[in-house]
Amino acid sequence: MSLSLDETQPDPEALLRWYVELGADEAIGDEPVDWFAAATAAASVPIPAQSPASAAPASVTPPQQMPKPAAEAAPRRAPAAAEPPSDSAARALASAAQTLDELRAALEALEGFPLKVTATNLVFGEGVEQPDVMFIGEAPGADEDRQGRPFVGASGRLLDRMMQSIGLDREKNAYITNILPWRPPGNREPTPAEIATCLPFIRRHIELVRPRVLVPVGGTSAKTLLDQRQGIMRLRGRQFEYAGPGLDGPIPAIPLFHPAFLLRSSGQKALAWRDLLAIKQIIQ
């Protein structure tokens, strides 16, 4: 049994509904094109035989050619990515902030910083101004990124207990933040370029908070803020002086093991306790 061409063609109204469901809701050409007739005509054109040495196959010219869509005639280009902020631009934004709220707004206005795209929340800081101690970690983790608060995961709970052991509390007499206010993807270490961009903001953060004692938490924070090359095992427990142009004078700084490290290396908690006692002695 053979079927004619008319019997094999779908219902035009049903075909249009199918096109609309696929998103083709606008005609491109001024005149309609019967592609069923074009396909039948093309199939009836005989294809000439070719020799093996033929360089190019013969082309079949369709009876009617559909005009190219505008998107093909002029392809769109993706918008250019914002340029990374320069160190001078970051310094200008940070130095212009006169309050913590203004500093937070300056960070939110920072353009071209890749971590802003991958992070969920800006993790600014938490605590009281002019505290006894200001703790500064490296960067937010996954829990901090979700909640927008510093040190709220397992390491944050340990840090809270460490602070409480020497009479400190983030709601009464302490302040907590990080060098980077955005989480690096996968909790990787910050790159030197990322640290350089954020350094003017954390320095201004210290000047606005004005702590009595500064505690860099972890090796990256200690080396960055104290301009040291040694690791945290050699820096912890030693007293340094931190100076800044916006401070009345140098303030004592004592590096401390990061709580995440202590969770993995419980044998180092005795040294951390010794360092906490040294911090307590300074603030008393």
Q: What is the pLDDT of residues 235-270, one digit of tens each?
A: 999 999 999 888 999 999 999 999 999 999 999 999
Specify the number of domains making up the chain: 1
Residue 59 forms part of a structural domain: no
- For 222, other C-beta atoms within 10 Å of its C-beta total 29
Q: How far apart are CA 189 and CA 213, in angstroms?
A: 26
- Residue 38: which residues within 8 A CB-CB, separation 6 or more? 62, 63, 64
The answer as to whether 132 is a domain residue is yes
Task: Tell me whether residue 63 is in a domain.
Answer: no
The answer, yes or no, to whether residue 34 has pLDDT greater than 80, is no
- pTM flag (> 0.75): no
Q: Residue 119's domain is classified under what CATH number?
A: 3.40.470.10
Does residue 24 lie in a domain region?
no
Which of 266, 197, 193, 189 has its CA nearest to residue 221? 189
Instruction: Check residue 87 and give its pLDDT.
Output: 74
What is the extent of the structural domain holding 253?
Answer: 87-283
Spatial separation of the C-alpha atoms in residues 251 and 133, rounded to whole Å: 11
Q: 251 φ, ψ to 5°?
A: -120, 145
CA atoms within 13 A on the CB side of 119: 25
Q: Look at residue 162 in the predicted model and tell me its pLDDT.
A: 97
Specify which residues 177 forms β-bridges with. Answer: 125, 136
Binning pLDDT at 50, 70 and 90, where does residue 71 land?
Answer: very low
User: Is residue 58 domain-resident?
Assistant: no
The answer to the question of residue 265 being in a domain is yes
Tens digits of residue pLDDT in 184-225: 999 999 999 999 999 999 999 999 999 999 999 999 999 999
* Measured torsion, CA atoms of residues 90, 96, 97, 103, in degrees rounded to the nearest 10: -20
At which residue do the structure tokens 């030693």 appear? Answer: 238
**Paired residues of 176 in beta bridges:** 126, 135
Q: Is 22 a domain residue?
A: no
Instruction: For the chain, give the mean pLDDT.
Output: 84
